[in-house]
Every structure is written in structure tokens, then in C-alpha cells.
Chain A
Amino acid sequence: MKSTDSLRGSERPERFWDRDQPQRCVGIEVLRRGSVGNRSLSDAIRDLYIYTLMDRVAKLEDQVNRRSVIVPIQALEPATLTLTQPILSVVQEEDGVFVASFFDANINASGESQLDAVEMLKDIIVSTFRLLTKREAVLGEGPQQQLAVLRQFVRA
């Protein structure tokens, strides 16, 4: 890929593709006029592809840096509660501790390690299911939704 620096001139934009300033992009001009300087439409498409890949890599790097992992929960204890389908918990680091979340039911737990957080989440899912079932007659809107989601995954 030719350096975008080579495009700089008195009437040329600074970047070939720039998400933040699309009006200044050579790429847009190429699409509009067929070419700009030595930049052809194929250059524009190739560079758009590369910038798209760079954007996706940046997002992946951000995810890795936040150490977010998905941990499937296959079983609960005690065995009197059965999972009808696996629960996908998301574990994220927050300032040195880990938070495991069952997002659909808004049930969350913290732990010193990913394992601690997931183990606590499993316990909290059980205690939450019991509590919401026991108090079903007096559930507010949020807990009603939690119980509805839990019942899609948990059977007593």
C-alpha cells in the first residue's frame, strides 16, 4: 500500500480513509471522480479493506486487554436444580478482581480469580432462583424479568 504521506499536497486530503473525517478522505474523492492523483479505485477498495481490518483488530485488542471471556455453566449445585441449557457467563476484569455476569438475568458475582467469580455466580444463580420463586407473588418488574429468564434455563 502506498503511504498516505505521498498523497499530501496543496489540494489533497491528509488521509486516504479517515473514519472521523470522511469528507477529507481521498477514498471518497476517488469514488466520486474515479481517481485522485495516482490513486485508483482499486487502491481505494484495497485501502478500505485494510483500514476495516485495522479497525477490527483494534476492537479485538480492546477485548483482549479487558480480559473478557465467556465461560459456559453446564451444571448447578445442588443437583435438585437442573439446567435445561448452558448459561453463558461473561467474566470481565475490573481493577484486579473479576466480575462474572449472566447478563440476560442481570445476575452478577465478584471473585479474586475467574474461577472464584464463576463459582460465586453459580451459587448466586441458585439462591436467586430460590428467592424469586419463593417471593413470586411480590416481585417487581426487574425481578419478574429475572425469574422469567431464569426459568428458561433452570428447572427445579
Chain B
Amino acid sequence: MGGNPLTQQVAVAALKKLDAQDETEAGDAHPTYAIYHDNTLIARTGLRRSSKRDILVPHIKRDLRVNIQFVLDLARCPKDKEDWLRALGVISADNEEP
């Protein structure tokens, strides 16, 4: 696996932390998730359809526009949705809309 820890399990945990909504439609080959803030769509991503939790999905960091460590921190608790929204500039440091 090398040094890439972005598994499907990590991705799902990070998406759960971001309150991602499953927007998969019937017939879609892959599950699609969308992340909203104040009823605004901020980002979307797709995962691989697999029952294996350890398959790698390194593309998720690009979809979320953060680095590997940020995704890990989302999945493993230090960071939350507000941190992510701040990192993207959606909200400012004092939680106010920019």
C-alpha cells in the first residue's frame, strides 16, 4: 500500500464528518456524495463501488480540495466540517460568512 492511507474506510469516515449526503441515482456505477453548507453545494465526490474497506481512494483529497493529512484529520477526529469550510474559504476564521 505504500504511504497512502486514504482508504475507502477513511474516506467514508471523512464524508460522514462532513455530513455528506448520498446523491447516488439508480443506475449510477459509483456512489456519489454531496456536501452542503447553508443549503449550498460546496463539493461532491464519488467513491469506488466495493465491499472492501481497505481499497485506496486517493482522489478524494482532490475532490475535497485539501491534502491527505486533512482528510485523515477529518476521519480521525481532530478536524471537523467547520475546519474544512474555513480551509476552503467558505467561512472565515471567526465562523462568519466571508
Residues of A within 8 A of B (CB): 94-97, 99-101, 106-112, 120, 123-124, 127-128, 130-132, 135, 138-140, 142-143
Contact = CB atoms under 8 A, between A and B. Distances in A.
Contacts of A95: 1-4, 56, 58
Interface in B48-95: 48, 55-60, 62-63, 65, 88, 90
26 contacts: A94-B4, A94-B58, A95-B56, A96-B4, A97-B55, A99-B59, A100-B59, A107-B63, A108-B62, A109-B30, A110-B57, A110-B58, A120-B29, A120-B30, A120-B46, A123-B30, A124-B46, A128-B32, A131-B34, A132-B41, A132-B44, A138-B40, A140-B37, A140-B90, A142-B88, A143-B42
A111 B36 CA distance: 27
Given A120-B29, A131-B23, A142-B88, A97 B58 contact: yes
A142 B4 contact: no
B92 to A, nearest CB: 14
B56 A123 contact: no
Contacts of A108: 59-60, 62-63
A63 to B, nearest CB: 19
Interface of B: 1-4, 23-25, 28-30, 32, 34, 36-37, 39-44, 46, 48, 55-60, 62-63, 65, 88, 90
Contacts of B34: 131, 135
Given A95-B56, A120-B48, A123-B29, A139 B3 contact: no
A96 B2 CA distance: 8
B32 A131 contact: yes
B41 A110 contact: no
A123 B28 CA distance: 8
